[in-house]
Chain A
Amino acid sequence: SQQGEEDPQALSIQEGENATMNCSYKTSINNLQWYRQNSGRGLVHLILIRSNEREKHSGRLRVTLDTSKKSSSLLITASRAADTASYFCATDNKAAGNKLTFGGGTRVLVKP
């Protein structure tokens, strides 16, 4: 399996509901980032959480990190139709030359 695996692979919710997705990874990390990809577009950075942080907020986004479980979660509160996209976590670690390693993403569909 790959470093940075998202779960679930797909998520369908109604507008106004919260969307939660998880990411698991295998090796120790420096940082974990979340990215968003709209259909047919490149990835856009959303938020970064460092290995010594446990929770971080940015607008309607809330990210948690549990290094003991090697997992992170991304919560989008009060979802909007415009949040429909794929969401990816990415990890980096010094042993890998600080390269960003992505998982397969979670496809989120927010129905109006």
Chain B
Amino acid sequence: DTAVSQTPKYLVTQMGNDKSIKCEQNLGHDTMYWYKQDSKKFLKIMFSYNNKELIINETVPNRFSPKSPDKAHLNLHINSLELGDSAVYFCASSQSRAGAEAFFGQGTRLTVV
């Protein structure tokens, strides 16, 4: 069973479109994250939710809106996609304590053309 699953794995879309990436975890974790990995492999946190509540919101354009319908799901919606949004987006989850191991999904490679 996949612990953290995100869909789709690949997403190619045109500039200006709106798209969503879904994430689900079956680990019973309270905390979920979205990370963005750029072409240089640098991994940057975007959002963190704990029990459906937003606790970390890094400097991310308002076009990015996370939604957590329950603590097992954290979806990412992106409006008006731009070329610079092209990257690999990773969902992750962990227990809500310091030093908790993060479990990552397989990533969604977003290409904006």
Chain B residue nearest to A41 in the complex (CB)? B106
A41 with B107: CB separation less than 8 A: yes
A25 within 8 A of B: no
B41 with A42: CB separation less than 8 A: no
A92 with B99: CB separation less than 8 A: yes
Q: How far is the CA of A10 from the CA of B4 in the complex (A)?
A: 28
Q: Mark A77-112, 1 if CB is under 8 A from B, else 0.
A: 000000000101010101001111111110100000
Q: Which bracket fits the contact residues of A? A: 20 to 34
Q: Known contacts A2-B42, A100-B45, A104-B40; is A42 also within 8 Å of B99 by CB?
A: no
Chain A residue nearest to B99 in the complex (CB)? A31
B98 with A94: CB separation less than 8 A: yes
Overall SS of chain A's interface: strand
A98 with B98: CB separation less than 8 A: yes
Q: Which residues of A contact B66 (CB under 8 A)?
A: none
Q: How far is the CA of A40 from the CA of B107 in the complex (A)?
A: 8
B48 within 8 A of A: yes
A73 to chain B, nearest CB (A): 19
Most buried by A among B33, B104, B105: B104
A57 within 8 A of B: no
A-binding residues in B (CB < 8 A): 4, 33, 35, 40-45, 48, 55-56, 90, 92, 94, 96-107
Beyond A37-B41, A103-B43, A104-B42, 16 additional contacts (C-beta under 8 Å) are: A30-B99, A31-B98, A42-B4, A42-B90, A42-B92, A43-B92, A44-B104, A45-B103, A90-B102, A92-B98, A97-B55, A99-B48, A100-B33, A103-B42, A104-B40, A105-B43
B-binding residues in A (CB < 8 A): 2, 30-31, 33, 35, 37, 40-45, 48, 50, 86, 88, 90, 92, 94, 97-105, 107
